[in-house]
Amino acid sequence: MAINKPVYTVSDVNRYVKALVANDDHLKYILVKGEISNFKPGANGHLYFSLKDKESLINVAMFNSYARSIDFAPENGQEVVLLASVDVYPTRGTYQLIAYEMHEVGRGDILLELEKLKQQLLKEGLFDVSRKRPINIYPKAIGVITAKNSAAIKDILFNIKRRYPLADIYVFYSAVQGESAPKELLAAFNKAQEYDLDTLIIGRGGGASEDLSAFNDETLVRAVANSKMPVIAAVGHEVDSTLIDFVADKRASTPTGAAELATVDIREIEQKFQYAIMNMQESIYSQLSEMKQDISFRNEELNDAIKDKIDELKNSLENKKNHLSALNPKSILSRGYSITSDESGHVIMSRKDVKAGMKISTSIKDGTIVSEVKDVED
């Protein structure tokens, strides 16, 4: 069945809605009250931010010609009243407020409640440095709480595996923004507490302050403060801050930074081993060199001692030789004496040992004289 209706392009629809809004006097020059969020001053003097209450949020643009009339410095958390008109941006099909005037009312209720909770937790000592536990950078197991298929989980997993592939990684997925985020984060946290983890990382990428509000949930913050294992908070970027950051044991500026805080780079371990081996080798070489020198020195001492002992023995032997030589009867012959013995070789000590007709031998310095006894006299 054919439908007899004109077909419009997307641009036709957006332009039509823009015209409707532009011609509606109820949307022109209205006063809107809310809290500033995501404040971003442009380089050309324009101001871009969001205006929010507890339930809703709308984008705002304030061009430099109107921004110059502001008599205070706008910042996130301030409650303001805008004189503005509703406008449609047809290129994207979105609507926003075009602000002409901005007046400060005071700090918004949301920020005041957050500050009140922060002061209460501070008073209870949950932010104390003494509560912070050291991170084991040689972990067996690391837990990660973040959104599924997010850039944060990719960064964390990649950097842990790159730096310290020895660790097991347990991932507990949760929404990280929106109404369900606080409950999902708490459920993931309680589940992680059932595991034997060295470290637990809770993180997500950067975002607007309302996007990070789940990490300010009081129940979640108190649970993290009492975690059985050390917690590293990696919520947002360096400029972002949540209550989780204050109760965590460590705070990382990015998810990548959390992976670096949770582990040591295995290349550092390898380098330390190389240095240790080099130091051991140098120590062994040094000790061997000292032992070699000591052995050489002691060898010289031993040689000297042996030489001295040998010289001492030689001198003693020479003295004894001279003494024996002096006692040798034959040495007397050199001094002009002689020794007479009978035919049997016995030394004749008395005349009684000699008889006439007996042959005797007389030893002198250079030979022996054999003679026959003619007579024996007293």
Rounded (10°) angle between helices 218-225 and 109-123: 20
Query: What's the rounded Cα separation, in Å, for the pair 203 and 150?
Result: 10
Each residue's pLDDT tens digit, 161-205:
999 999 999 999 999 988 899 999 999 999 999 999 999 999 888
Are 275 and 240 in a shared domain? no
Query: What's the rounded Cα separation, in Å, for the pair 102 and 141?
Result: 52
- The answer to the question of residue 118 being in a domain is no
Please tell me the predicted confidence (pLDDT) of residue 238: 57
Q: Helix, strand, or coil here: 338?
A: coil
Query: By residue range, what is the domain housing residue 288?
Result: 266-327
Please tell me the predicted confidence (pLDDT) of residue 2: 59
Please tell me the predicted confidence (pLDDT) of residue 108: 62
Q: Is the pLDDT of residue 280 over 70?
A: yes
Please tell me the predicted confidence (pLDDT) of residue 208: 67
The H helix count followed by the E strand count for the chain is 10, 13
- The answer to the question of residue 120 being in a domain is no
Are 234 and 177 in a shared domain? yes
The gap between the terminal CA atoms of the chain, to the nearest Å, is 185
Are 221 and 173 in a shared domain? yes
Q: What is the mean pLDDT of residues 82-109?
A: 86
Q: Helix, strand, or coil here: 370?
A: strand
| Banded pLDDT at 138 (limits 50, 70, 90) | very high
Residues in contact with 327: Cβ distance below 8 Å, sequence separation at least 6, in sequence order = none
Q: Do 333 and 363 meet the contact criterion of CB atoms below 8 Å apart?
A: yes
- Give percent of the chain with pLDDT exceeding 70: 93
Q: Which of 294, 309, 327 is the last residue of a domain?
A: 327
- The answer to the question of residue 125 being in a domain is no
The sign of the torsion formed by the CA atoms of 236, 242, 248, 252 equals positive
Each residue's pLDDT tens digit, 10-49:
988 888 998 898 888 889 888 899 999 988 888 788 999 9
Are 343 and 294 in a shared domain? no
Query: What's the rounded Cα separation, in Å, for the pair 317 and 323?
Result: 10
Please tell me the predicted confidence (pLDDT) of residue 224: 95
What angle is formed at CA 11 by the lines to CA 5 and CA 17, rounded to 5 degrees? Answer: 80
Q: Do 25 and 67 meet the contact criterion of CB atoms below 8 Å apart?
A: no
Each residue's pLDDT tens digit, 303-360:
888 998 898 888 888 888 888 777 766 666 677 778 888 888 888 888 888 888 888 8
Sequence length of the chain is: 378
Query: What's the rounded Cα separation, in Å, for the pair 13 and 10?
Result: 5
- The answer to the question of residue 3 being in a domain is no
State the total domains in the chain: 4
Are 240 and 270 in a shared domain? no
Helix intervals (H) in 164-230? 181-192, 218-225
Q: Do 177 and 207 meet the contact criterion of CB atoms below 8 Å apart?
A: yes
Are 235 and 152 in a shared domain? yes
Please tell me the predicted confidence (pLDDT) of residue 164: 92
Query: What's the rounded Cα separation, in Å, for the pair 235 and 245?
Result: 8
Are 92 and 149 in a shared domain? no
- The answer to the question of residue 34 being in a domain is yes
| Banded pLDDT at 120 (limits 50, 70, 90) | very high
Q: Is the pLDDT of residue 276 over 70?
A: yes
Are 258 and 317 in a shared domain? no
Please tell me the predicted confidence (pLDDT) of residue 175: 92
Give, in order, the Cα–Cα distances in Å from 78 to each of 33, 53, 120, 215.
11, 11, 21, 21
Q: Is the pLDDT of residue 237 over 70?
A: no
From the number of C-beta atoms within 10 Å of its C-beta (0-12, 13-18, 19+), residue 26 rates as exposed
Q: What is the mean pLDDT of residues 239-266?
A: 89
Query: What's the rounded Cα separation, in Å, for the pair 363 and 154?
Result: 121
Are 293 and 335 in a shared domain? no
Query: What's the rounded Cα separation, in Å, for the pair 232 and 197?
Result: 12
Pick from 48, 52, 99, 103: nearest CA to 80: 103
Q: Is the pLDDT of residue 1 over 60?
A: no
Structure tokens at 10: 């997307």
Q: Which of 241, 264, 287 is the last residue of a domain?
A: 264
CATH code for the domain of 211: 3.40.50.2300
Looking at every residue in the chain, the average pLDDT score rounds to 87
Are 14 and 65 in a shared domain? yes
- The answer to the question of residue 252 being in a domain is yes
Q: Which of 246, 264, 282 is the last residue of a domain?
A: 264
Please tell me the predicted confidence (pLDDT) of residue 362: 83
Please tell me the predicted confidence (pLDDT) of residue 205: 82
Q: Helix, strand, or coil here: 200?
A: strand
Q: Do 21 and 87 meet the contact criterion of CB atoms below 8 Å apart?
A: yes
- The answer to the question of residue 122 being in a domain is no
Pairing of strands 339-341, 250-251: unpaired
Amino acid letter, 331? S
Please tell me the predicted confidence (pLDDT) of residue 87: 93
- The answer to the question of residue 130 being in a domain is no
Are 280 and 187 in a shared domain? no
Q: Helix, strand, or coil here: 106?
A: strand
Please tell me the predicted confidence (pLDDT) of residue 72: 86
Are 184 and 246 in a shared domain? yes
Each residue's pLDDT tens digit, 204-236:
887 766 778 889 999 999 999 999 999 999 987
CATH code for the domain of 51: 2.40.50.140
Each residue's pLDDT tens digit, 55-87:
889 999 999 989 988 888 898 888 898 999 999
Please tell me the predicted confidence (pLDDT) of residue 209: 67
Query: What's the rounded Cα separation, in Å, for the pair 137 and 134?
Result: 9
Give, in order, the Cα–Cα distances in Å from 182 to each of 3, 150, 217.
48, 17, 6
